[in-house]
Structures are given as C-alpha cells and as structure tokens.
Structure 1
C-alpha cells in the first residue's frame, strides 16, 4: 500500500522501509491525486525531521518542487526550515567525476540546488506505462 502523504513516507523510511521505493510510491500517490487540492494535501503536513540531513533536505526539495512544477498555488511553509538544507554539497551519483559534478551543478532544479542537492534535470520522473484508453 502506497503512503498517502510525504510525511507518512518519511515515517515508513524511519521504520526501515527502503527510501527509494517508498519515495517512488509516494510520487505515484501524488500523481494519482484527482485535483490540485488533493495533491497539495499529500505534501501539506510536515514530515518529521529524521536526523538524516540528506533525507530531511530531500523531502523539502521534493515538496517544493512538486508544488511549483504542478502549479499548486502555494508551497508548504515547512520547506523553508533551515534543517531542510545541507551544509555540504550532495551530488546524487555514486562517484561523480569533475565533469559529472559540473553537469549536476548546472542541471539541478532550483528547489534542489538551493538545498545543496545536485541531481539531474528531472529528478522525480517516473517510468509510466500508457494510460488506459477510456471508452
């Protein structure tokens, strides 16, 4: 069963669920929400701080990015917490070369780069099959 909110996803990760899978499942929940209001409700409640700086910053970036990309009209206030920013840069590849660091520095969306997270141009894209045709 997918997490219903980003806060619930973080709770599951803290309880031992795999981070990548749990966040991907949350993104499915967000994308399947019927309205912009329903999408906002999935990111509205602040996830608990985990003492894992990367995860805390990442969920702030995810919430802000989704709110802006989907034009939800507002961004949850909790994303501005200084605890949602990293002191040191995090390049999200396993062993970035100098060229990869440069690429990630310039391609990272502002919502991620402002938190010192350097990632690809579309960090939340998901592979999707074709939508069923409605008859």
Structure 2
C-alpha cells in the first residue's frame, strides 16, 4: 500500500522500510492525486526529522520540487527549515567521476542543488507502463 503523504513515507522509512521503494511509492501517490489541492495535501504536513541529514534534506527538496514542477501555486512552509539543507555536497550517483560531478552540478534542479544535493535533471520521474488500450 502506497503512503498517502510524504510524512507517512518518512515514518515508514524510520520504521525500517526501504527508502527507495517508499519514496517511489509516494511519488506515485502524488502523481495519481486528481486535483491540485489533493496533491498539495500529500506534501503539506511536515515529515518528522529523522537525524539522517541526507534524508531530511531530500524530502524537503522533493516537496519543493513537486510543488513547483506540478504548479501547485504554493510550497509548504516547512521545506525552508535549515535542517532541510546539507552543509556538504551529496552526489546521488555512487562513486561519481569528476566529469559526472560536473554534469550533476550543472543539471540538478534548483530545489535540489540549493540543498547541496546533486542529482539528475528529472529526479522524480517514474517509469510508466502502457495503458491497456495501448497494448
């Protein structure tokens, strides 16, 4: 079962669920919401701080990015909390070469780069299967 909110996703991660799986499920929940208001509700509640600085910054970046990319018209206030930013750069690719670091520094969306998170150009895209009418 997908988490209904980003706060619920973080709670599941704190309970031992796979971060990658739960965050991907949350993005599905967000994308499947039928209205702008329903989407906003999924990111409105502040997720608990976990003590994992990367995760805390990542969920702030995710909420801000989703709000702006999907044109929700507002960003939750909690994303600006200082605890949602990293002091040191984090490249999300394992063992990046210098060239990869440069590429990620250039291509990362502002909502991630401003938090010192360097990732791909479209970090929250999800693969989608063919609809039954397209098969």
TM-score normalized with structure 1 length = 0.97
Residue 13 in structure 1 maps to residue 16 in structure 2: no
Distance 1:55 1:100 in 2: 22
Give 2:29's aligned residue: 29
Where does residue 55 of structure 1 map in the other structure?
Answer: 55
**Pairing of 1:28-107 with structure 2 (within 5 A):** 28-107=28-107
TM-score, normalised to structure 2's length?
Answer: 0.97
SS in structure 1 opposite 2:99?
A: helix
CA RMSD between the two structures: 0.7
- Deviation per CA, 1:34-75: give whole Å up to 9, x if none: 001000000000000000000000000000000000000000
* Cα distance in 1 for residues equivalent to 2:131 and 2:67: 23
Number of residues of Structure 1 aligned to a counterpart in Structure 2: 133
Deviation of 1:131 after TM superposition, in Å, equals 3.4
Runs of at least 5 residues in structure 1 that lack an aligned partner in the other structure: none
Could you tell me how far 1:33 is from its partner in structure 2?
Answer: 0.3
Kindly state the Cα deviation for residue 132 of structure 1 after the two structures are TM-superposed. Answer: 4.5
SS of the equivalent of 2:74 reads: coil
Q: Which runs of 5+ in 2 are unaligned?
A: none
